[in-house]
Chains A and B, each alone.
Chain A
């Protein structure tokens, strides 16, 4: 298009440039807007990175675009202080536990919902889904009491179980979508061939929906990693997650913004790594198997 406009308009330069301009603008408007949007998206993150490289005094006195006197001191503090780096380990351990628990209960359930009709199936499905709608704030005190009563308070397992509240319903929902996309004939052929249900499920069926499993794991990781309220309520010292460690950076001289920013940047990295690995599935995955 653009090429044609350019060549055909050669004799009249004035019109040519106008034509070229309009052709270019209609063609380029999408990418330009997208570029602007991505700038809007990345600027706050850049601002956090910028502050993480600065000292608290400089942060409070400068709004220059580039960091003043950049250094890695804040990161050094975090990597040498066990109270900081152990809180990352705590966070990662309850997120991992949550993904394992969620997938192991949600896989058979999603299979049941995608393949069978049974008494109360629709009601159970909706009831599960209602838990995704429950505001965590509603459950704060009961959770605290329940997990204290069974002796799980301040362990990663308590947070992992509490996060099942919203992750299990979502996992069943996503997996059901993916599993419904697998033709029933595969199940029937396997049973005719003499496969038992567990053997069929583990060796034939699960590999077929592995993209769905990956996507589900991604979502569980995401929602467990970003949650603050329950993680904060169910832990005190031993299992303190990073999101909570960050709320306690108050020292004698007030909040240490530089340290806080550095800790914040480090909480973005695991997510960024996960996105990088699933980048090719992410678009399909966000449709939750339902397109």
Chain B
């Protein structure tokens, strides 16, 4: 759309800038401050430069948490995006069935994160939970408190359960914007179901799917409460993702300096990856 050049528009965005400066810039500056100091107590702090950054980048625990985090985000994106699209394709387009399915589908999105964790902590238990019992009845040994693979399966299935609806609803919104005429034209041309998907539905969903990938990447990369409630990062440190590691450092061990350096690196990684996605998104919506 054509936009007018007018710098007075700054007055309109001033409230947002002030609010975000208060709730983001000041705290971020505090983090930067911590990251270059060694703090022993009130009044006892020493400037130590980039030492904490060097230490964090060399910490093998951090490396492992980072690899785990990448694996987790990769796995959930690889499952949730195709599954969400399939669910969206299967949803009825209109009528009460459509409304009902959407209400059921959206329900997990509005459950507080720790309640999601609580639900799965109980639901996946081998003795008292439906999910855990069914898997064990199939003859597969499943116990998420002792076995790392079970713990990973539980966390991944929980995330798929929790967030696939977001992808499905986004994809559904994209599908609904396709005029009926496109489908009629495809039917006249004798296009196969796969061809309709490939040449009509997928292009129309491209921009909403980019949003879905962006949101899912950011949120899965910051995941904290759900795995923390279910496994507490265990067994051992098998499900200790970046946020869990960070909170342990900052609140558990009160290592403010290293935690702050870690925070900044963490933030920069998300920023970098999201910038790439964001640029792609801008390019897609420009087309």
Contacts and interface: CB of A to CB of B under 8 A. Distances in A.
Q: Is B a genuine binding partner of A?
A: yes
Interface of A: 30-31, 33-34, 37-38, 40-45, 47-48, 51, 59-63, 65, 101, 104-106, 108-109, 111-119, 121, 124, 126, 128-143, 145-146, 161-162, 164-165, 168-169, 172, 180, 184, 222, 225-229, 242-243, 246-247, 257, 260-261, 264, 267-268, 270-272, 274-276, 279-280, 282-288, 290-291
5 contacts: A112-B9, A134-B24, A142-B31, A146-B26, A243-B114
B106 A275 contact: yes
B213 interface: no
B17 interface: yes
A274 B5 CA distance: 39
The 8 closest A-B pairs by CB, nearest first: A271-B110, A142-B27, A287-B173, A112-B12, A116-B9, A142-B30, A291-B177, A138-B263
A93 B271 CA distance: 32
Nearest to A219: B109
Contacts of B133: 63
Given A140-B250, A288-B211, A48 B222 contact: no
Interface residues of B, number: 95
Q: Secondary structure at chain A's binding surface: helix, strand, loop or mixed?
A: helix
Interface string B4-30: 111111101101110110111011101
Contact of A246 (B31, B114, B243, B285): B114
Contacts of A143: 27
Given A41-B108, A134-B24, A243-B115, A276 B103 contact: yes
Contacts of A146: 26-27, 30
B246 interface: yes
A286 B173 contact: yes
Contacts of A121: 9
A45 B130 contact: no
Interface of B: 1-10, 12-13, 15-17, 19-20, 22-24, 26-28, 30-31, 34, 86-87, 89-91, 99, 101-115, 118-120, 122-123, 127-131, 133, 161, 165-166, 169-170, 172-174, 176-177, 204, 207-208, 211, 218, 221-222, 224-225, 242-243, 246-247, 250-251, 256, 259, 263-264, 266-267, 270-271, 274-275, 278, 285
B170 A287 contact: yes
B119 A264 contact: yes
Contacts, number: 290
Contact of B90 (A33, A169, A260): A33
A287 to B, nearest CB: 3
Given A118-B6, A246-B118, A105 B19 contact: yes
Centre residue among B6, B17, B128 by max chain A CB count within 10 A: B128
Contacts of A114: 1
Contact of A44 (B3, B119, B246): B119
A45 B107 contact: yes
A209 B166 CA distance: 23
A289 B108 CA distance: 23
B222 A184 contact: no
Contact of A126 (B12, B20, B91, B278): B278
A75 B60 CA distance: 47
Q: Which of A114, A124, A226 has the most CB of B within 10 A?
A: A226
Contact of B4 (A59, A116, A145, A226): A116
Contact of B16 (A38, A168, A285): A168
